[in-house]
Amino acid sequence: MFLLQSPVRLLPEQASTISGEVDALYFYLWGVSAVMTLLVAIVAAFFVIKYRRRAPDEIPRQIAGSMKLETLWSVIPFIIMLTFFGWGLKLYFTMYRMPKDAMEISVVGKQWMWKFQHPTGQREINELHVPIGQKIKLIMTTEDVIHALSIPDFRIKSDVVPGRYTAIWFEATKTGRYHLFCTEYCGTNHSGMGGFVEVMERNEYEAWLSGNLNAVSPIVAGEGHFNSLGCVSCHSAGGAGGRCPTLAGIFGKQQPLADGGNVTVDEAYIRESILNPSAKIVAGYSNIMPTYQGQVSEEQLLQLVSYIKSLSPAASNGIQTTAPARENNPSTGVASPSGQGTTNPDSLRSNPLAPTNPNAEAGRGAGSTRANDAASPGSSRPNSSSSGGNQPRRENQ
């Protein structure tokens, strides 16, 4: 189309499976708006000329209303408006119903950077590598204020809110390098909170993944937190009972509560259970779990959620049910919370205005892992939900 191919580009490139449909809806809205505006202008000009006053003492003839005409100009625009609603609703469900086979990437926003972690453990700051033709689900939260992640070429945007998880997905259709932005004013360096999405061929993406030998997957890291905090002493990950509910096979299912209600076990419920255990008590269990509010970072929460989800393979896209040894890391076994790779991404922060490659800084900040990197839930309930009123704490840099 001319608007997409002209030297002066009026729209971003179409680089995802939904971008064409989003543009088509906008073209339809613009087209209908232009036609209606032109129609109103022509009719108004016609009546101004036809019924103008021709003599100073002219008395115009009274014209009776027409019910048929008034019905038509009310019903026809209403039907047109319904097509806007129907098309927009269909597109909304396409964008916000997460596909089952999507690859999940954790995203944490903070002033003023984006931190990404891949399922295999690779971490990136202000840059995200993804394979072409693969559905990608971004599970997002923030450590400080409200942010909003936007990738215009993919036609996606979502608020990233403190104290809760939001999710959005995309499937890239073209290789290349595409801008990502924060589109919610978040402080003095808001304009610098951007980066790039690098879409690669699948073989190139696999080669890129294999280049980081120190990656610890979120599942492995989450299991490390789970064990180091003593969660395993109360919660069973293998299906056997204990002082607190078992976590095996519960993700995606309904959990009965002590107050007679039910809750769906999802990422938000797991998060809430870790930070505010008394909010929803599982039926048949006592409220004995301490809160971990202020003891675990948002990244550690996402890792714990990944581990608990891995215990329910049927509901977690076939993810492994146990945390394996790091396949591309010489050291094996359960990762300690502080041993998540050789580089602490926070040590690279220094207010980055461009994508930062943590691997290029290997060794810098190896010993600067935060003291609270060992936090995980020992909850009296299996997992947690949207933490409602709990705000994640800001970390001092």
Whether 117 shows a pLDDT value over 70: the answer reads yes
Nearest CA to 229 out of 244, 240, 214 is that of 244
Residues 197 and 224 in one domain: no
DSSP string of 329-362?
Answer: SSS-SPPPTT-SSS--GGGG-S--SS-B-GGGGT
Q: Report the pLDDT value the prediction gives residue 328, as an integer from 0 to 100.
A: 33
Q: Model-level pTM?
A: 0.66
Query: pLDDT tens digits, residue range 98-114?
Result: 898 899 999 999 998 99
Task: Report helix, strand or coil for 157.
Answer: strand
Q: Is the residue at 378 inside a domain?
A: no
Which of 33-42, 89-98, 206-215, 248-257 has the weakest average pLDDT? Answer: 206-215
Mean pLDDT in residue range 44-71: 84
Query: pLDDT tens digits, residue range 179-206?
Result: 999 999 999 999 999 999 999 999 899 8
**Domain edge (last residue) among 41, 70, 96:** 96
Confidence class for position 268, pLDDT limits 50, 70, 90: confident
Q: Report the pLDDT value the prediction gives residue 176, as an integer from 0 to 100.
A: 93
Whether 250 shows a pLDDT value over 90: the answer reads no
Residues 189 and 223 in one domain: no
Q: Report the pLDDT value the prediction gives residue 347, as an integer from 0 to 100.
A: 43
User: DSSP strand E in 118-226: where?
Assistant: 123-125, 127-131, 135-142, 147-151, 156-160, 166-171, 176-182, 194-200
Q: Report the pLDDT value the prediction gives residue 209, as an integer from 0 to 100.
A: 84
Higher pLDDT: 109 or 207? It is 109
Residues 176 and 230 in one domain: no
Whether 55 shows a pLDDT value over 70: the answer reads yes
Whether 323 shows a pLDDT value over 50: the answer reads no
Confidence class for position 210, pLDDT limits 50, 70, 90: confident
Q: Is 263 left (phi over 0), alpha (psi -120 to 50) or beta?
A: beta
Q: Which amino acid is at 99?
A: P
Residues 24 and 86 in one domain: yes
Residues 91 and 107 in one domain: no
Residues 194 and 107 in one domain: yes
Confidence class for position 373, pLDDT limits 50, 70, 90: very low
Residue 266 lies in domain:
218-337
Domain CATH code at residue 87: 1.10.287.90
Mean model confidence pLDDT for the chain: 76
Confidence class for position 86, pLDDT limits 50, 70, 90: very high
Q: Report the pLDDT value the prediction gives residue 170, as an integer from 0 to 100.
A: 94
Whether 326 shows a pLDDT value over 60: the answer reads no
Whether 332 shows a pLDDT value over 50: the answer reads no
Per the structure, the count of domains in the chain is 3
Higher pLDDT: 333 or 265? It is 265
CA dist 372 and 39 (Å) reads 65
Query: Contact at 8 Å (CB) between 135 and 103?
Result: yes
Residues 153 and 177 in one domain: yes
Higher pLDDT: 28 or 228? It is 28
What stretches of 198-249 show up as alpha helix (H) in DSSP?
202-210, 218-228
Residues 181 and 248 in one domain: no
Q: Report the pLDDT value the prediction gives residue 239, as an integer from 0 to 100.
A: 54
Residues 199 and 119 in one domain: yes
Confidence class for position 42, pLDDT limits 50, 70, 90: very high
Query: pLDDT tens digits, residue range 17-27?
Result: 999 999 999 99
Higher pLDDT: 211 or 316? It is 211
Domain CATH code at residue 123: 2.60.40.420
